[in-house]
Each structure stands twice: as structure tokens, then as C-alpha cells.
């Protein structure tokens, strides 16, 4: 008589891409399919998520085949990107009452589109779509103007981010 024993399951490996230790944010890129470069929007989003979870680091290390440590200037730009990420994420999960949840010109829809299209959101198209919408109920026109204000705010944040990044990259005092 054969007794079959239950097969032991391997414990699922949990990959934690960020670790914060002694003021340094370590981003583990070894199991990632991305380029592990801050020239890749997906990598920037991953690092900014680590900054949101842990706070601004004094140092940043991206780990792959070769570890790469990034400078204070790069970290300060990533912190600015993290602020935009946090704002768009918070706005995208906001669930206002009524039909606004399904409205393509709501702040939550636009916030998601802005972050999804990082680093080149089409603010002009989003603003034009909001302006062309036809408010049909009480509160819709006010909501439309709030959305346009939100788009303008994010566009200004992106403009300032690019300006500051250029200053830091080229060590300029004015752009």
C-alpha cells in the first residue's frame, strides 16, 4: 500500500522592489523587465513610488548587474516627480458623488491620464476636451472648471519640473 504525502508548496517569493536603510533608498531592479535607467519612464515611476513610500532619501542606489548610485541633484528631481505622482494618484482614486465617476472630463479621469502618459502628458488635448464638454446638470459646469484648473496646475508643475531638471543637469542658474 502506497501512502501519498501532500506535496509541499514552495513559499512564494515576495519581491520588494524598494528598501530604505540609513537614509539610502535601494531600488532592486534585478527582477525587473525594465531598462533600470532613469531615462525609462517606468523606472522613474518605480523609483518615485519608493520615494512616496519611504520619504525623500539622502542617497539613491539602483541595483541591477552593476549598482548605480545617483546624485543629490537627480534625487531632488525625483522627489519633485514623486510629488506629482502622489497628487495624481490621490486625485485619480477620488470618487465624487454622482455621474462624475464615469465622466471623461472629471479630475479623477484626467489625473490618471496625466500619470499614465508621463513624461509627456497632452495637457492641451485634455484641456480642450474639458472645454468642449457640454455641462448638462447642476454642478457639471463648476466641475468642468475645477478640472481645467487641475490640468493647469499639473501643467505648471511639469513645466517647473522640466525647468529645474534642466538647471540641475546643466548646472545653470537661469533657464
- Tell me what pLDDT residue 7 has: 41
One pLDDT digit (tens) per residue for the chain, 175 residues: 444 434 433 333 445 688 888 899 999 888 877 677 888 888 899 999 999 998 999 999 998 888 889 989 899 999 999 999 999 999 988 876 666 666 777 888 889 899 999 999 999 999 998 888 876 666 678 888 889 999 999 999 999 999 988 888 777 655 5
Whole-angstrom distance, CA of residue 162 vs CA of residue 52: 20
Edge-to-edge strand ranges of the sheet holding 68-70? 18-21, 24-28, 59-63, 68-70
Examine residue 119 and say whether the peptide bond preceding it is cis (omega within 30 degrees of 0): yes
Helix (H, G, I), strand (E, B) or coil at 24: strand
Contact by Cβ (8 Å): 93, 107: no
Whole-angstrom distance, CA of residue 108 vs CA of residue 90: 8
What residues have CB less than 8 Å from 122, skipping those under 6 apart? none
Amino acid at each position: 500500500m502506497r501512502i501519498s504525502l501532500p506535496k509541499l508548496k514552495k513559499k512564494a517569493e515576495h519581491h520588494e522592489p524598494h528598501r530604505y536603510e540609513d537614509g539610502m533608498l535601494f531600488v532592486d531592479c534585478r527582477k525587473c523587465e525594465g531598462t533600470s535607467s532613469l531615462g525609462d519612464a517606468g523606472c522613474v515611476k518605480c523609483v518615485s513610488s519608493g520615494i512616496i513610500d519611504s520619504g525623500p532619501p539622502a542617497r539613491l542606489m539602483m541595483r541591477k548587474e552593476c549598482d548605480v548610485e545617483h546624485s543629490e541633484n537627480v534625487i531632488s528631481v525625483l522627489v519633485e516627480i514623486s510629488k506629482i505622482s502622489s497628487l495624481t494618484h490621490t486625485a485619480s482614486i477620488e470618487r465624487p458623488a454622482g455621474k462624475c465617476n464615469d465622466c471623461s472630463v472629471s479630475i479623477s479621469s484626467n489625473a490618471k491620464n496625466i500619470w499614465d502618459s508621463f513624461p509627456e502628458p497632452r495637457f492641451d488635448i485634455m484641456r480642450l476636451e474639458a472645454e468642449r464638454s457640454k455641462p448638462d446638470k447642476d454642478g457639471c459646469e463648476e466641475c468642468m472648471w475645477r478640472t481645467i484648473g487641475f490640468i493647469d496646475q499639473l501643467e505648471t508643475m511639469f513645466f517647473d519640473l522640466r525647468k529645474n531638471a534642466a538647471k540641475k543637469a546643466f548646472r545653470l542658474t537661469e533657464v
